[in-house]
A and B are shown apart, each in its own frame.
Chain A
Amino acid sequence: MYHQILHDTKKRGIDVSDVKLNLKQMMAAKNTSVDGLTKGVEFLFKKNKVEYIKGSAAFSGENEVKVNLIDGGEQTLRGKNIFIATGSEATPFPGLTIDEKKVVTSTGAIALESVPKKMVVIGGGIIGLEMGSVWSRLGSEVTVVEFLGQIGGPGMDAEISKTTKKILEKQGMKFKLGTKVLKGDSSGEGVKLEVEAAKGGKAETLDADVVLVAIGRRPYTAGLGLENIGLEVDNKGRLIIDEQYRTKLPHIRVIGDCTFGPMLAHKAEEEGVAAVEFVKKGYGHVNYNAIPSVMYTHPEVAWVGQNEAELKEQGVKYKVGSFPFSANSRAKTNLETEGMVKFVADAETDRILGIHIVGPNAGEMIAEGVLAIEYGASSEDVGRTSHAHPTLAEAFKEAAMATYGKAIHY
């Protein structure tokens, strides 16, 4: 909003003067939101008669966990069925000590006390871009250093990734792709990072007030006492489970970030439901091909299903249709014309295989795509569905039309 008031409102006929950022108040508002959501979960526990024991737990037996209570003391709990959902933590960068002040993870990045003049983000994945985008819009000079040749991580479609990079660069963010960080020094007032091209080249030094380490997340299972019951993790630290979320001890099931699949809250939510259904009913299901990914930058990026590179690798024949927001009525009116909607459908059957969006409201719009994929829709099914005018959703329909035929308005 701050960024919009500074850059957009004048064009729309609203003169705002003396715009100031009150970061303390902004953080207080953020804390209120977080507290509200956390208390909401506690309320649901109470409402559904779920006992909430606060502490850190470790397995002391196959059916027993010992809890070190936050309020002091220890409690032993026994369970016929036990679910592990301990989540993940930021992967640290070797050679840089995280202090959550100068060298921060996403946890520290949402609690900075002032806007850093210069910020370097190590890792151009979703978390790095989201946090970098936030501080860039609040006035920080942000440079993203990414080892790979594209931003957004492996799931993002290459064309969408390129478009997103262009948009973010226009907003002032800088990118160093195909670049590796050799070492860092945070002993001085700021942080110095030595970087060089991944393929080898001349090293250079980047200065920053704050360095955000966002090279990925790893499963969090430390202190869980897995060794006490012989549970195994794979080479990435993920707990090994079968298709029913069971570990090798069948009454212990695992869901969420600490096991296979994308590290997303809504994926964990689906798994939680399916795992309980397996216990209670003997069956359950999660469609891993219909889990949406959303990057909350401005504009947002969202996708579901497979991207072009993945389909090429699998040798699947596909067709592509896209529609730019610059040709969409509402996007034009709102002066938010950057980005596009892109469909990838099976060349023979027209079944939708993937949907990729960068642009205004992408995170909300992808829900329609998830539904289409879940129901096994064709691009023609979506293209022949009426979408209200004038809405951003029309771009979605037009992209579907472009996939099986031709978009009307482009």
Chain B
Amino acid sequence: MRPTRLLFARMSMIKFIGKRVPPNTITPAAPADEPAPHPASPSHSLPDSFINYRSKAQQHGPLGGHNRPSSSQHSSSSSPPPPPSSTNPSHAYGGIGGHSGHELGGVEPGAGRGEVWDRSELPERFGRLAWTEDEIEAVELGGANLRAGWGGS
């Protein structure tokens, strides 16, 4: 009897955690903006040109896909979708055009009569784009630096 009792105490290494349900937000192993090496890559690294291209491509917007809010977060049209994190610079540039309007959720105010939103409450995509350092400098100098650069002097 003793061996049988011992057997019952044995715990299998295989653990069943139930049906697979993707979490609301997926945290990739590495940030989407930074490509990580393929697990079967023999060198376990990416060439410099690859990473440089990606960081350059990021400026034009196609790589912001992984910061998308999950569909459950903005399925209701009565509330505005959460504004993208202001700490993530990819939203200032990379997020533009990265998602369809439908994907970003509705912006209509609630059903209540006379209920309106203030402009400042709208998601960030309806706001002004952040100024770049170059733009601020161009405004401050009245565009003189651009002209000088353009003129080649």
Contact = CB atoms under 8 A, between A and B. Distances in A.
A380 interface: yes
Given A232-B49, A248-B50, A282-B26, A243 B13 contact: no
Contacts of A261: 38, 40
Interface residues on A, range: 20 to 34
A384 interface: yes
B9 interface: no
A240 B46 contact: yes
B39 interface: yes
B40 A250 contact: no
Contact of A248 (B30, B49, B66): B49
Interface string A210-254: 000000000000000000001010100000111111101111000
Residues of B contacting A: mostly = loop
A243 B49 contact: no
Interface string A285-305: 010100000000000000000
Contacts, number: 80
B36 A250 contact: no
Given A242-B46, A243-B30, A281-B22, A377 B14 contact: yes
B14 A241 contact: no
Given A248-B54, A282-B68, A376 B13 contact: yes
B14 A243 contact: no
B22 A260 contact: no
B149 interface: no
A232 B66 CA distance: 25
Given A282-B26, A283-B22, A283-B26, A250 B62 contact: yes
Given A250-B62, A250-B63, A281-B22, A260 B42 contact: yes
Nearest to A372: B14
Contacts of A378: 12-13
Given A251-B62, A377-B13, A243 B39 contact: yes
A336 interface: no
Interface in A243-275: 243-246, 248-251, 259-262
26 contacts: A240-B50, A241-B38, A242-B37, A242-B38, A243-B29, A243-B35, A243-B38, A243-B39, A244-B28, A245-B38, A246-B35, A248-B35, A248-B50, A250-B54, A260-B38, A261-B38, A262-B40, A282-B66, A283-B22, A286-B39, A375-B14, A377-B12, A377-B14, A380-B13, A381-B14, A384-B10
Interface of B: 7, 10, 12-14, 22, 26, 28-30, 35-43, 46-47, 49-50, 53-54, 57, 62-63, 65-66, 68
